Structure 1
Amino acid sequence: MPVIPDDNRFESDPADLLPQDPGLPEGWVAAAPDGSDRPTVERLTELLRAHERAGRGWAGAGEEDVLVEVSDRGLTTRENLVVRDPAGRIQAWGSVHDRAEGRMLFVHIVDREIDERLADRCSDVLFEWAEAQAKAVGEARGLAVQQIDSGSFADDERQHGWLADAGFDRVRTWWQMSRSVEAEEAELVPDPARWERNGVVFRLVERQGDGLPSEADLRAVHEVLEGAFTDHFNSAEETFHEFIHRLREDPGHRWDHWWIAEIVDGGGEPEPAGALVGTVSESDTGTDGSYVSYLGVLESARGRGVATGLLRTIIADAASRGRDRVGLEVDADSPTGADGLYTSMGWGTKYVTESWHRDVTVSQQ
């Protein structure tokens, strides 16, 4: 298996990035959170869930989603900042993620109950810190410009205003789609673990004696997805080690949710042509779902039903596990027409999110 990256390029001490007086009211402080402190994790989870309820009407995040950002494992590629009031209560949280070369993700959350003036000041501190982190990570990677990629729910006007005021541009819209799953759909394919149709084999990544997947198969998945998304919006090259580390961080990660599609009708060695990485999607209702984290098909194999076959596979797999839904995200502005395939197979839009970007000039010494 690939090693976990240990080259955090961020500045870990907020005091090195923020002015001595960041402009917070007396008694308020900005500092890095302790991800091993349970009350801290519980409070960040509370903030995240309130942010989701305000933005889309319901909350889905749990403590595992927070731990991805603040635990020791998460900090190999991330840093965090919290703003505490005089009582020590966390009122704002920012997290930055060195996602890939030239692309830094930024989570920005401010409590929904505090005074508007205080909320604005907390927001300003998070943005100031994120800009400084963008310069740090960009300089460490040797870049002239570092992108900050943040997001918002489509109906969250408060977040839109803060992002716009901080110099971000709304650049993309994403449909978060879901499809119900019926028990009888377990028969959609002969066997989700392996089946064949029209010269294409759909199979799970191979597992070794210790239960871990074949590195050759994982590399095949990475190469297919890199090739399939080369011309897609905001595509950034990601190394194999970065890719595997990031996907293993997902709380819903399972190796038995990774599929490869191979062309086998040429008479030679099977040729990887498509890949689907799925995860478990938990729910407060107690019924799990499946989620399509990645679905990619190489251009040379398009038109052969590879994407449809992979989608039918994860639907059948979900049904066989007693799950009630399969979710996915689609670029609302994609020229590929992928949304037409999803709609034809029963997916509908559940809510909408947006990408907001800002390019930061990196000071090169």
Structure 2
Amino acid sequence: MRPATLDDAAAICALLNEVDLLEIGRADTEIAEVRADLKHPEADLERNSWLLFDGDRLVGYGLLWDESGGERIDVDHYVLPGQLPGALHLFELMEDRAARRAAANGATRAVVHLHLNTTPTTDLDALRGRGWRTVRRYNVLARDLSATADPPPQPPPGVTLRPCVAEQDRRIAHALLQEAMTEHFDFQPRTYAQWLDDIDGARADWSAIWVAEVEGIGDSAVLRTHDDRASMAWISNIAVLDKARRQGLGGHLLRHAFGHYAARGRDRIGLGVDTDNSSGALGLYERHGMSLDHAVDTWELIRQV
């Protein structure tokens, strides 16, 4: 085992796509995503990343990050089948590091979260044996697109959208997301600079991120999308402030994304949704023709520090 470096991005991407093929039947990881993780200013690869080799072959990858500055710690853990001893050793190293990180933040425990496909390459019995348990499920929904079936929609009366090509609008989008997403599970407050690092803002297509203004209310919603996945276009956020809900704004933003990417020639679009989301987002997306592609569970481990 050794820490990862930015030079390992291609090998890590190949491993993640091998895992993707086993779990969802297609390679769905782009190297830009891997590089964004590795070069993140908060990454600290020497202490918070791990590569697991079987001989010369990369068979496992772990990454830990701390957005909360408190007890909440996030980890990624990818290991190919047939590597259980190495997978367990990697878990042990990551769990110990999470506890030390939380202690350094002044917390009395580490609450560690890990996202896994519901049919993962990970040995779930072994994971449960280490004290992990599922606490949330996210559905990845997808929908076919066509220019004929998905023309750009007309906005509701009094609603206008503008792309975030100006710095001021990027800051507005960040502020709206921070306000609208506060009650969502696993939300962590982030400064504008941190958010830019999180979304790899230096290479983001800001013309595919929109702020919605509602007459009489002002800037009230954000639609953030990107087009760097081979399999489908992707909606990262649809966020509407409480004061602008129940006016059809969420549905309009969804249809706007459909029309935008259909016009660009994409034939499929997807997003992830918390199945316990109290805003009714899952039902909204299903009413607009989105259906289950695959599901991801949030696993949690609580360690005293």
Do the structures match in fold with TM over 0.5? yes
Residue 140 of structure 2 aligns to a residue whose secondary structure is: strand
**2: distance between equivalents of 1:147 and 1:333?**
20
Write out aligned runs for 1:73-152 (5 A): 73-74=39-40, 76-78=42-44, 79-85=48-54, 87-102=55-70, 103-112=72-81, 114=82, 119-152=83-116
Task: Determine whether 1:236 maps to 2:188.
Answer: yes
Let me know the Cα RMSD of the aligned residues.
Answer: 2.3
Residue 64 of structure 1 aligns to a residue whose secondary structure is: helix
* Contact 1:49–1:60 under 8 Å retained in 2: yes
* Contact 2:196–2:202 under 8 Å retained in 1: no
How many positions carry a matched residue from both structures?
A: 301
Question: Which of these residues, 220, 234, 244, is aligned with residue 301 of structure 1?
Answer: 244
Partner of 1:275: 222
Which AA in structure 1 matches 2:197? H
Unmatched segments (≥5 aa) in structure 2: none
**1: distance between equivalents of 2:177 and 2:126?**
34
Which AA in structure 2 matches 1:326? I
Question: Which of these residues, 324, 336, 344, is aligned with residue 279 of structure 2?
Answer: 336
Give the superposition deviation at 1:57.
2.6
The CA deviation string for residues 331-351 of structure 1, in whole angstroms up to 9 with x for no partner, is 112222211111111111111
Partner of 1:175: 139
**1: distance between equivalents of 2:62 and 2:12?**
10
Residue 96 of structure 1 aligns to a residue whose secondary structure is: strand
Which AA in structure 1 matches 2:192? F
Identity of counterpart residues, as a percentage? Answer: 24
Write out aligned runs for 1:1-365 (5 A): 30-36=1-7, 40-70=8-38, 73-74=39-40, 76-78=42-44, 79-85=48-54, 87-102=55-70, 103-112=72-81, 114=82, 119-156=83-120, 158-185=122-149, 187-189=151-153, 196-205=155-164, 207=165, 213-214=166-167, 216-248=168-200, 253-264=204-215, 266=216, 271-283=218-230, 289-362=232-305
The 1:243/1:75 distance shift into structure 2, 3 A limit, reads: closer
Which AA in structure 1 matches 2:268? R
- State the structure with more CA Rg: 1
**1: distance between equivalents of 2:184 and 2:41?**
28
* Contact 1:263–1:272 under 8 Å retained in 2: yes
Give the superposition deviation at 1:137.
2.7
Residue 205 of structure 2 aligns to a residue whose secondary structure is: strand
**2: distance between equivalents of 1:92 and 1:218?**
36
* Contact 2:118–2:296 under 8 Å retained in 1: yes
The CA deviation string for residues 303-334 of structure 1, in whole angstroms up to 9 with x for no partner, is 11111121121111112211112211111122
* Contact 2:4–2:49 under 8 Å retained in 1: yes
Residue 109 of structure 1 aligns to a residue whose secondary structure is: strand
* Contact 2:98–2:110 under 8 Å retained in 1: yes
* Contact 2:40–2:197 under 8 Å retained in 1: no
The CA deviation string for residues 86-111 of structure 1, in whole angstroms up to 9 with x for no partner, is x3332322111223444322111222
**2: distance between equivalents of 1:164 and 1:153?**
15
Greater mean deviation of Cα atoms: 154-163 or 166-175:
154-163
TM-score (norm 1): 0.75
